[in-house]
Amino acid sequence: MLSTTDDTICAIASPPQGALRGIVRISGSETIAIIQKISADKLPALGARSIRLPIEVVLPVAPDRNPLTLRADTLLWPNAASYTGQPAAELHVSGCPPLLDALTERVCQAGARPARPGEFTLRAFLSGRLDLTQAEAVLGVIDADNEQSLRLALRQLAGGLSIPLAELRDQLLQLLAHLEAGLDFVEEDIEFISQTGLTAALTEISQTLRKTKRQVADRTLSAERPLIVLRGAANAGKSSLLNCLAGQQAAIVANLPGTTRDAVEVKANFGQRQVVLTDTAGFESASSPLQHAMQQMAADLDQRATLRLLCWDGRQPPPCVDDADRKRTICVRTKCDLANTPDGYNVDTWLPTSSVTGQGIQQLRSTIAGKLDQLLDQGAGGVAGTISRCRVSLDQAIDSIDVAIQIAENGFAQELVAAEMRVAVHAVGEVTGEVYTDDILDRIFSRFCIGK
């Protein structure tokens, strides 16, 4: 897969089903010569700047027919300022598939070869225009089927993941340089970094690595539809609220504590966000295996949820709000159309709603949207392919740094600390692509489609 980048490649870059506009993409050193060859007219003098120019292309057609002349709106990058980091062009024509096939054939006759899947992005990576996480983000953008996946992929494409990792790698390399300088002067007893300085710096790096791993792995806080779980006592009005927020009768409502047993999931939108709302069984003691299973399922969902709506029927004692969950909890007082809350309870932090009259529902919707924005924009996140790849490398980096800390703390030879640090530098470099093998590239770029 890691082939030469000297030859010139060509592929249709627009969707295969046909569209109003179609694009044939070319990249490689022969790009300008090829454009000149396929153009019916002589090209104007080209400087180093990218330009847009219309050209007439004579297309190969059946021998007994007149040749077909096609006007192509051509974007030309004569130098390395293109996506791929080498001379490149895009021919924009009508999106008719046979026409695009004929144009590609003509470009190949003129000296290009058909591109392999992901080869344009591979060239962008090999020329240093993108790092590996950004290359994967290109795939994330193509695959995004909802707004948050797209936002996440775009953030990764803009370096959201690689910038902090590159900084971390620099930090490690600098520390390693100090350590290795000290090793060279060990005879003279010159120390470039003290043992406490070294362990403190390594501990900080280890914490940053752990934080990055948590952020990258936390897909429920990023690419997937966030999960919002409804919690509260039995009969608190959770199912009624779910139906109200989802705008459909998804869950059974009855004036009978314990109506909801299995979790009921329904898709809903809050602001720009698409989410999964999940109704659960109400809090109750688990005195039978069935109740135990209901409580377990609800608790598991609660753990996974991005956001929880804690429901309180104001006529009953309020449920307790766990401090650890406060940031991701919205406290909702239900059934506000009914009798008032008895004295002695502080209702200030509870948003009053009624699923019958609709009171407070709009406000709850905007509170949910705002809270999701807050929670979801905090994590670095990552597109699916990057996450699985990162996990292994980050684990390895964390392990090595932890071993390095132990060795440093025990006052063992600094050569051993340096060796562990080198393993960590390598592992972090694998994520962004400072260190790569053909096998890694193959795994990443074979998932792309042709033309990307």
Ligand X SMILES: Nc1nc2c(ncn2[C@@H]2O[C@H](COP(=O)(O)OP(=O)(O)OP(=O)(O)O)[C@@H](O)[C@H]2O)c(=O)[nH]1
Candidates 6-14, 236-244, 286-294, 375-383; binding stretch for ligand X (CB under 6 A): 236-244
Contact between residue 392 and residue 132 where contact means Cβ atoms under 8 Å apart = no
Q: In whole angstroms, what is the distance from residue 424 CA to residue 398 CA? A: 7
Does 239 contact ligand X by CB under 6 A?
A: yes
Name the residue nearer to ligand X (CB basis): 253 or 321: 253
Instruction: Tell me which residue has tokens 């940053």.
Output: 208
Nearer to Mg ion, 155 or 231 (CB): 231
* Strand 351-352 with 307-313, pairing: unpaired
Near ligand X by CB under 6 A: residue from 14, 39, 334, 400: 334
Selection from 212, 225, 214, 218 nearest residue 149 by Cα: 225
Report the C-alpha gap between 278 and 264 in whole angstroms: 5
By the rule CB under 6 A, 278 interacts with ligand X? no
258 binds ligand X per the rule CB under 6 A: yes
255 touches ligand X by CB under 6 A: yes
**CA-to-CA distance for 164 and 168, rounded, in angstroms?**
6
Pick from ligand X, Mg ion, none: which does 355 bind, CB < 5 to 8 A by kind?
Answer: ligand X
Nearer to ligand X, 169 or 238 (CB): 238
Q: Which of 74, 148, 162, 260 binds Mg ion (CB under 5 A)?
A: 260
Contact call for residue 278 and Mg ion (CB under 5 A): no
295 binds Mg ion (CB under 5 A): no
**Nearer CB in complex with Mg ion: 9/301:** 301
Judged by CB under 5 A, which stretch of 20-28, 184-192, 239-247, 268-276 contacts Mg ion? 239-247
Q: Which residue number, 57 or 294, has a Cβ lying nearer to ligand X?
A: 294
- Interface pick for ligand X out of 259, 274, 295, 367 (rule CB under 6 A): 259
Choose which of 182, 282, 318, 429 interacts with ligand X (CB under 6 A): 282
CB of 274 to ligand X, least distance (A): 23
Closest listed residue to residue 277, CA positions, set 263, 269, 265: 265
Residue number with CB closer to ligand X (28 or 282): 282
- Asked if 259 interacts with Mg ion (CB under 5 A), we say yes
Is 286 among the residues that bind ligand X (CB under 6 A)? no
Q: Which stretch binds ligand X (CB under 6 A): 130-138, 229-237, 428-436, 437-445?
A: 229-237
Window 135-174: residues binding ligand X (CB under 6 A): none
Among Mg ion, ligand X, none, residue 338 binds (CB under 5-8 Å by kind): ligand X
When the beta carbons of 58 and 290 are compared against ligand X, the nearer one is: 290
253 binds ligand X (CB under 6 A): yes
Q: Please identify, using beta-carbon distances, which residue of 338 and 413 lies nearer to ligand X.
A: 338
The values of phi and psi at residue 37, to 5°, are -65, -40
Rule CB under 6 A: choose which of 235, 329, 393, 414 binds ligand X. 235
Applying CB under 5 A, does 240 fall inside the site for Mg ion?
no
Confirm or reject binding of residue 290 to ligand X (CB under 6 A). no
Extract the tokens encoding 341: 């809350």
Which residues would be at the binding site for ligand X (CB under 6 A)? 234-240, 253-255, 257-260, 282, 334-335, 337-338, 354-356
Which residues would be at the binding site for Mg ion (CB under 5 A)? 239, 259-260
